[in-house]
Structure 1
């Protein structure tokens, strides 16, 4: 095999506008609602900037409220299907702490995201080491409003997290999340933006 033809690395990077968007945000956000409000703010901007879908996430220290990382969906910007907000936020937090386990040495860190994780991000969250998952909501509304395929997620998804020592906090600023999704749907209708389901969501032939 000619290994010179193989790609040996890839990058998932936050967009340049993140720096400006976070300029007025304190390093410490003391409560779940404050953290989720920032997630919604980032989600509302990322699709308008063309980077990906209306999704954002952050990792915070559950005890102090310090924000360790933020992530937005960068699938369209990067051309990499794994570039979801949760994956980006978790990976950046792991890079910052230099550990694949965000719960190492008794650390209590949480992932805050603007809906229940999709099939991909469900696994990423399970193995990340976070001790809490904070979501704006769950249920069919996301797929119904946006047209995204979130994949096969178990009905007992929250219980599976809890069984692995990951507390789940639900329905934090839920209405605001749905408002962002409706804005996204209107944006798609007006601009023809891509709702990126592989093979258009169709089954494999």
Structure 2
């Protein structure tokens, strides 16, 4: 066996083709989350991965910097969650690992509270704010995913590090996406099997 020396992941063809049609500016938090929920719903139905999407925007202007979806199934890489994809694409577009460099106020918008892996990725990305549709048990109950042992005070931990958190934007719409996914026969990828 030859040891691998690299790996890569890309947006699914449907989203790559749609990038030129995405709004250049998303003025409100609701506009931003509407796009995220739409991308999340389209993503699982296309079979690329779970019902998750994320975008990075300029917090003040709403200018779209990147859009990502979960591509675990299409890439074969367990770390390619929507947040990691959106953050990585923003870092590539801006050619810097610190999305908060030079006083930039970039915002990550996600259709649920980040899982344990994306929690760390978000914290260390340099984004200055995080907007989520929700943070309760509905995601795991409806979808079957194991989000990992995220700490109870997860939002306060972000705030203590200078990352503003907004919870509850278009929550019901996000739950509807998870419900549709859970009611389908889509693949739930938990390496250890059942939810812990």
Equivalent positions of 1:19-98 (< 5 A) are 19-98=16-95
- Picking from 179, 183, 189, the partner of 1:182 is 179
Please say if 1:169 is aligned against 2:166: yes
* Alpha-carbon spacing, 1:80–1:19, altered in 2? closer, same or farther (3 Å): closer
Distance in 2 (alpha carbons) for counterparts of 1:127 and 1:71: 18
Give SS of 1:18's match. helix
Distance in 1 of aligned mates of 2:111 and 2:9: 20
Compared CA separation, residues 202 and 173, structure 1 to 2 (3 A): closer
Consecutive unaligned residues in structure 1, runs of 5 or more:
none
Q: Say which one has the larger Rg.
A: 1
SS of alignment partner, residue 199 of structure 1: coil
Distance of 2:18 and 2:42 partners within structure 1: 9
Deviation at 1:107, TM superposition (A): 0.3
- State the alpha-carbon separation in 1 of the partners of residues 28 and 74 from structure 2: 31
User: Is this contact kept in 1: 2:66–2:86, CA < 8 A?
Assistant: yes
1:20 Cα offset (Å): 4.1
Task: Provide the rounded CA distance (Å) in 2 between the counterparts of 1:151 and 1:108.
Answer: 28
Q: Please, what TM-score do these two structures have when normalized by structure 2?
A: 0.96
Find the counterpart in structure 1 of residue 191 from structure 2: 198
Q: Is the 8 A contact 2:145 2:195 kept in 1?
A: no
Counterpart in the other structure of 2:3: 6
After the TM superposition, which parts of structure 1 deviate over 6 Å for at least 4 consecutive aligned residues? none
> Larger deviation: 17-26 or 138-147?
17-26
User: 1:97-108 to 2 correspondence within 5 Å?
Assistant: 97-108=94-105
Q: Which of 147, 151, 154 is the equivalent residue of 1:150?
A: 147
Q: What root-mean-square deviation, in Å, do the aligned CA atoms of Structure 1 and Structure 2 show?
A: 1.3
- Counterpart of 2:138 in structure 1 is 141
Q: CA deviation at 1:19?
A: 3.5
* Stretches of structure 2 lacking an aligned partner (at least 5 in a row): none
